[in-house]
Amino acid sequence: MKNWWFIRGLRKGIMTEKYPKELPEWSTEIQGQGNANCPTNAIKDEKWIKEKCIFCRRCYPNYKPNLNPRIYTVKKTQPLFKKSFYLYPIDSGSCGGCNMELKLLSSPEYDMTRFGIFFTNTPRHADALIIMGVLTEKMKEVLRKAYDAMPEPKVIILLGACAISGGIIGEGIPLEAAIEIAGCPPNPFTILEALTRVKEK
């Protein structure tokens, strides 16, 4: 009976969380004052620019994370995606960190399907292109083709410091995004909450 998976699943019970029980400090919002030895110029005139932060701790202890994981910017919403929202993830040049955290949205803790969010295997069925990593030469064409293959309405989501600003590795993605999700990598909760915001009015 060891592989009666259905029974096992029931026995384990539901583990989905409204808000994560535990959050690591880095990548959450950063606050502080004074000097910062920031390698990406993410602190200017004592103001923190989340899109540029790679959460390296160089500015610590003058600047500290405050455990607020809501470090995303919603620039555009699309209420048509309210009931179902299909994502096509595309890796333009990541370190694998953003990919792992995105994948973990399907873990029971986050269970993205409860919000009607799903991954799709083809851009032809996608509502959103979710791009992670810096812009690499060969992927430029692939990104364009994937975007062209998507039906309207469609949105672009930039995931992680690399995609938004290039972080410390290279260039960011020069496309207008509906949402920018900061973090290196962003926490799965940050990603999930940002995605649910696209579907709002």
Q: Point out which residues bind other proteins (CB under 8 A).
A: 2-3, 5-6, 8-9, 12, 15, 21-27, 39, 54-57, 90-101, 103-104, 106-110, 119-122, 133-134, 136-139, 142, 146, 167-170, 184-185, 187-188
Q: What angle do CA 136, 140, 99 make, to 5 degrees?
A: 60
End-to-end Cα spacing for the chain: 48
Rounded alpha-carbon distances, angstroms, from residue 145 to 90, 139, 141, 149, 168: 11, 10, 6, 6, 27
For residues 96 and 159, is the Cβ–Cβ distance under 8 A? no
Q: Which is nearer to ligand SF4, 74 or 95 (CB)?
A: 95
d(CA 195, CA 192): 5
CB of 183 to ligand SF4, least distance (A): 7
Binding mask 149-188 for ligand SF4 (x = CB under 6 A): -----------xxx----x----------------xx---
Among 28, 36, 126, 158, binds ligand SF4 (CB under 6 A): 36
Written in H, E and C, the secondary structure of 129-182 is EEEEECCCHHHHHHHHHHHHHCCCCCEEEEEHHHHHHCCCCCCCCCCCCCEEEC
40 binds ligand SF4 (CB under 6 A): yes
Task: Count the site residues for ligand SF4 by CB under 6 A.
Answer: 27
Give CA–CA dist 7/84, Å, rounded: 29
Q: Least CB distance from residue 103 to ligand SF4, whole Å?
A: 13
Closer CB to ligand SF4, 81 or 93, in the complex? 93
Summarize as ranges the residues that interact with ligand SF4 (CB under 6 A): 30, 36, 38, 40, 42-43, 48, 53-59, 63, 94-95, 97-98, 132-133, 160-162, 167, 184-185
